[in-house]
Amino acid sequence: MFGSLKDKLRGVKEKLGLTIESAAEAAPEAPLPAGDAPAPGLEEKGMGEEAQAPEEKASKKKSTFTERVRVLVTEREVMLGEKDVAEPLQELEIVLLENDVALPVAEAIVEHMRSDLVGRNRKIGASVDTLVMDTLRRALLTVLGEGFSLTGYIDSHERPVKVLFTGVNGTGKTTTIAKIAQYLRKQGYSVVIGSGDTFRAGANEQMKTHADRVGVKVICHQEGADPSAVLFDTVQYATAHGVDVVLADTAGRFHNRANLMNQLEKIRRVMNPDLVVYVDEAVAGNDAVIRAEEFNNAVGTDAVVLTKADMDPRGGAAISIAHTIGKPVMFLGVGQSYDDVIPFRPEDVVDELLREEE
């Protein structure tokens, strides 16, 4: 997942690490603490540089960049200036943009790193690459937000918790609802699905098939029925039978189709959902970010689910959406089976992006 972005970030980390290492080496050395100074006459006794064995000298020359960047610069202080980090941060911004990270989000990441690195005295008592990794990690976590725990929400709210799913055509919304139903059922919650996509031919049959496979009841009306009535009946069923969660499907639609958006507003009034969840494809990149923002402006959004994250080498949508619309990502779809949906945890995503290949 996000393989292209991971590879590019690795190069930026190395360049930034080399920049900091160079600045640290140019900084004046702090005096050695008492007791750490070389013993008088040490070099005369053959312990200096020239007395080292040829094999030892050769092994030192073979040190790679990765090894050098991890060397402790003990008791050194370094103050980085704008010029020190300008080139690697510019490269970072380009890498982010090339991997579908929205411009405002790329700028926010770069600015966070700049403010974290520039103009502060830093005592480099740990490895330089750790400093780089920690700075980049904080910047990414800042834009990714906190994520959203659906189970935590269910546990803290009156039941049934009603979740309305929206999104454009063809993004895997119906299948995603079945995956989330499976996830919740395995977590011990009872679930009923409302088949509110009453206009797409075969939508009821598709949802019934999914619901049967994951062992969840589905409420549906005939094709062409009022979706508000379907979802009203679903909520009534959940209330009467003590069901924990209602997952409500809707027909895919674009934000600029006034009649369909008005219908969605009616559904919201009748169903009164606790959460409105927008579903789109991670592989759509910046298009997904733009559509999420437009849907949020038109009908509101409480959380986002991104499908096909396993097929997305760039990761731009996953990084950008939460920051752009100010709403958390709740789940990532990562495969074809009903178990292939995972809660979106920002720390896990950052770990994946910054993980060094073994």
The answer, yes or no, to whether residue 185 has pLDDT greater than 80, is: yes
Cβ atoms within 10 Å of 72's Cβ, excluding its own: 11
The answer, yes or no, to whether residue 210 has pLDDT greater than 70, is: yes
CA–CA separation, 219 and 234 (whole Å): 6
pLDDT of residue 251: 86
3-class secondary-structure state, position 171: coil
Averaged over 312-333, what is the pLDDT?
A: 91
**Is-same-fold flag (3-144; 150-354)?**
no
Question: How would residue 233 be classed by pLDDT, with cut points 50, 70 and 90?
Answer: very high
The answer, yes or no, to whether residue 41 has pLDDT greater than 80, is: no
pLDDT of residue 11: 86
Averaged over 151-175, what is the pLDDT?
A: 95
The answer, yes or no, to whether residue 295 has pLDDT greater than 50, is: yes
- 353 Cβ contact list (under 8 Å, min separation 6): 2, 5, 6, 9, 140, 315
Q: Where are the domains positioned within the chain?
A: 3-144, 150-354
The answer, yes or no, to whether residue 187 has pLDDT greater than 90, is: yes
The answer, yes or no, to whether residue 48 has pLDDT greater than 70, is: no
pLDDT of residue 56: 55
Question: How would residue 69 be classed by pLDDT, with cut points 50, 70 and 90?
Answer: very low
- Under CATH, which number does the domain 150-354 receive? 3.40.50.300
CA–CA separation, 87 and 85 (whole Å): 6
Averaged over 51-74, what is the pLDDT?
A: 48
Decide: residue 164, CB within 10 A, 0-12 exposed, 13-18 middle, 19+ buried. buried
CA–CA separation, 331 and 310 (whole Å): 12
Q: At what angle do helices 128-144 and 103-117 cross, to 10 degrees?
A: 140
Q: Which of 52-61, 297-306, 339-348 has the least mean pLDDT?
A: 52-61
pLDDT of residue 73: 40
Which residues, listed in sequence order, are joined to residue 266 by a DSSP beta bridge? none
Is the previous residue joined to 104 through a cis bond, with omega within 30 degrees of 0? no
Question: How would residue 53 be classed by pLDDT, with cut points 50, 70 and 90?
Answer: low
The answer, yes or no, to whether residue 79 has pLDDT greater than 90, is: no
pLDDT of residue 352: 87
For residues 159 and 257, the model is more confident at 159
pLDDT of residue 66: 46
* Residue that is written with structure tokens 């704008």 in the block: 82
The CATH class, in words, for 3-144 is: mainly alpha
